[in-house]
Structure 1
């Protein structure tokens, strides 16, 4: 049987920010993963670990002081080397959809949600003008956006409604790859479940989804695999059923994320994440890890899906 090629193949993706002082801050280091058709990969980790920077790199939305390395192949296109012209005309919206982390900033403030949806439908599909209204309303319903709010402007929406409007816009083109950066922010639990179920239907139709989230319950509901990020590095990449079930995570940090949940041990991870501009030598998690030893003075490689010198001990525990 011929193997199905991945929708997205990321290899050694790194992002550094050049500061005015001349030093560099490593926001993402050596990210490596594939994303297959019909698969959702949930990228999880504490704030500031580099998740959103990684997504921005894939879409060419980094600030001017960013420097990237590695590759991110979407079909025959390396997203890290594509020109702004190619990204804006053939990638964003058409081949890669985006649910942004800050939907209010993503929506055009002087236009209604309906007009923005209709324009997006017209640009990304073959819908004729008479059918735009119905197509826009269908897109809104997919994202649980209330139809009686379609003629409102973004400033008239709550944070949750703005999030649903941005999700509706992202789903319009049925892009083969969808990047969802905190798509459940501001939603109550029922709407979280409805949103991730709609994203799951999008995936089950043969598309790929990279979902960045703090919501581990949402990740458990939707993901096929989980990538755990800490201090700019992916420290565990695991099957979701094994990660959330038995035997569970193998990296102490990933184990700590689950143990901090209210329906589990409800035990916070001690300490604070390091500043990306002042990372400790060796394993960045070692100062917070109860398993740290002298071995942790060296940075562990992502070997067999986990970057930890004590992965076996954590799994056994």
Structure 2
């Protein structure tokens, strides 16, 4: 099979995946304008699709642009942000989809956030009002989304808590009375109230011990298995390995590799040198750190941003590599034996 045949086959698979996707992202770019005319390219040309019942883990070092990407999908970027590309969110059954980047604030607030996209935030306790109980948070969210009667709101709040495995006996507690794991379940319950088809979990395991991390991501996986699409944004590779179907690796604002999780974490391993380095840095693997420091997003090189740290870099890496077969690299690693 020739290279042209391979590329056409991959394009056909990509088109088929996009057609049946809950979320289809093409060329998503986020740039921040700073004083003095400086710019920060936080996300550059991100492409991926996410289907119902699927978990895509977006991984990478802190500061690589993962959370900015999530904020762009929800329309929660600051005023100095400029965006381009398309982020098509599938509509209700038989309904038209919505380009989240093109939608105005009224559309996002009334028809998207909470209803079609649920957010499970990082540090959930910081997103809960300290003087209100969990029940009060849930009922207020039900009222905002559905406007039902007081009795119906109470029943809907208790149902959401049950779906998130939040104990009914803790509903009348305040955020400071909850453990980290229970606060995370409360945040998940809030995200589930609108029965959103897409869940964005932005670093949902920060500050939790290993046992709570496993329980939290298992709970998120259960909701994906019920038919929701789950975008898990994390730097915890063990959590990604536990529940992800596919892995997208981000470096300096760019997605440099997208691979099935079984291959990424399996014996053959990832093919991008940075992705390979992430795995090799884990304590249960080679425990070898990636040399050097990440490039500043305000001063990215013209070519491959990872080249200054890459042992495989050549003069060719002075030009930006185009993604081929899911890997944006001029010199991808060969699969391990």
TM-score when scaled to structure 2? 0.87
Deviations 1:282-309 (A, max 9, x none): 1111111111111111111111100111
Question: Who is 1:79 aligned against?
Answer: 100
Structure 1's 73 and 219: CA in aligned 2 closer, same or farther, altered over 3 A? same
Question: Who is 1:12 aligned against?
Answer: 27
**What CA distance in whole angstroms lies between the structure 2 residues aligned with 1:36 and 1:110?**
38
Given that residues 89 and 100 in structure 2 are in contact (C-alpha distance below 8 angstroms), is that contact kept between their aligned partners in structure 1? yes
Question: Who is 1:67 aligned against?
Answer: 82
Question: Who is 1:42 aligned against?
Answer: 57
Which of 246, 255, 274 is the equivalent residue of 1:225? 246
Greater Cα offset, 180-189 or 125-134: 125-134
Unaligned runs of 5+ in 2: 1-15, 91-96
Deviations 1:32-70 (A, max 9, x none): 011111111100000000000000000000000000000
Deviations 1:71-126 (A, max 9, x none): 10012210001111110010000000001124234223332111011222344469
1:241 shift after superposition: 0.6
1:246 shift after superposition: 2.9
Q: 1:174 and 2:189 equivalent?
A: no
Question: Who is 1:165 aligned against?
Answer: 186
**What CA distance in whole angstroms lies between the structure 1 residues aligned with 2:310 and 2:245?**
27
**What CA distance in whole angstroms lies between the structure 1 residues aligned with 2:221 and 2:152?**
26
Given that residues 25 and 48 in structure 2 are in contact (C-alpha distance below 8 angstroms), is that contact kept between their aligned partners in structure 1? yes
Deviations 1:122-159 (A, max 9, x none): 44469754354454344334444444443233344455
Given that residues 22 and 50 in structure 2 are in contact (C-alpha distance below 8 angstroms), is that contact kept between their aligned partners in structure 1? yes
Question: Who is 1:33 aligned against?
Answer: 48
**What CA distance in whole angstroms lies between the structure 1 residues aligned with 2:276 and 2:136?**
45
**What CA distance in whole angstroms lies between the structure 1 residues aligned with 2:271 and 2:299?**
26
Question: Who is 1:309 aligned against?
Answer: 330
Structure 1's 298 and 74: CA in aligned 2 closer, same or farther, altered over 3 A? same
Three-state SS of the structure 2 residue aligned to 1:199 is helix
**What CA distance in whole angstroms lies between the structure 2 residues aligned with 1:254 and 1:143?**
32
1:212 shift after superposition: 0.1
In the TM superposition, what are the counterparts of 1:245-256 in structure 2 within 5 Å? 245-256=266-277
Q: 1:121 and 2:142 equivalent?
A: yes
1:201 shift after superposition: 1.6
Q: 1:269 and 2:290 equivalent?
A: yes
**What CA distance in whole angstroms lies between the structure 2 residues aligned with 1:185 and 1:148?**
25
How many residue pairs align between the two structures?
Answer: 316
CA root-mean-square deviation: 2.2
**What CA distance in whole angstroms lies between the structure 2 residues aligned with 1:69 and 1:4?**
21
